Amino acid sequence: MRSILIITLLSCFCAAYEAKVFSKCELARKLKTKGMDGYHGYSLANWVCMAQYESKFDTRAFNGRNTDGSKDYGIFQLNSRWWCKNSNQPSANACNKTCNKFLDDNIDDDITCAKRVVRDPNGMSAWVAWVKHCKGKNLSRYLAGCRL
Ligand SMILES: *[C@@H]1O[C@H](CO)[C@@H](O)[C@H](O)[C@H]1NC(C)=O
Ligand SMILES: *[C@@H]1O[C@H](CO)[C@@H](O)[C@H](O)[C@H]1NC(C)=O
Ligand SMILES: [Ca+2]
């Protein structure tokens, strides 16, 4: 009885944190329906490229190794110092969200927060991986083969 209860509790816990790894084109379509193509001047391919290098499209991507002690959450690696609040650090929490919300399989709130991030003066340069791998590059391969 006891073990059944534990198994039930564990499976509920896992269900609440269901992982989803998007395919390139699936993410491109989702971003497009959410108005990201051209959002703040950045074409759709920029967003797909950024997510590719930040998370490999994994909604559960997590980085706990920043030198300032902050952590990065989810498909867009949103940072706990500026954009969301976790339990163990002060945060500007500009997206007004608990960081764990950026690890689930619903990326609607992640997209809303990414829009907030890019409205800051740095634009997409907030994402180090975008600067390194996407900025100023030919990005046509990030939408290649996608029905949009
Ligand atoms: C933050 O989110 C909560 C709901 O999660 C809401 O009640 C509150 O008004 C929000 N605050 C701001 C400043 O948007
Ligand atoms: C970008 O790369 C694609 C495929 O390699 C090519 O067809 C296209 O002409 C390139 N665009 C620019 C602006 O160089
Ligand atoms: Ca989410």
Atom 4, ligand 2: which residue's CA is nearest? 140
- 15 assigned to some structural domain: no
- Residues that are catalytic: 54, 72
Number of domains in the chain: 1
- 62 assigned to some structural domain: yes
Domain that holds residue 122: 20-142
- 12 assigned to some structural domain: no
Q: What is the pLDDT of residues 92-114, one digit of tens each?
A: 999 999 999 999 999 999 999 99
- 3 assigned to some structural domain: no
- 25 assigned to some structural domain: yes
CATH code of 38's domain: 1.10.530.10
Instruction: Give distance in angstroms: CA of 95 to centre of ligand 1.
Output: 9
Q: Which amino acid is at 123?
A: G
- 6 assigned to some structural domain: no
Q: What is the pLDDT of residues 61-72, one digit of tens each?
A: 999 999 999 999
Q: What is the pLDDT of residues 44-88, one digit of tens each?
A: 999 999 999 999 999 999 999 999 999 999 999 999 999 999 988
Residue 112 C-beta-side C-alpha neighbours within 13 Å = 11
Instruction: Give distance in angstroms: CA of 129 to centre of ligand 3.
Output: 20
- 2 assigned to some structural domain: no
- 66 assigned to some structural domain: yes
pLDDT of residue 19: 82
Whether 67 lines ligand 2, by a CB cut-off of 6 Å, is no
| Model pTM score | 0.88
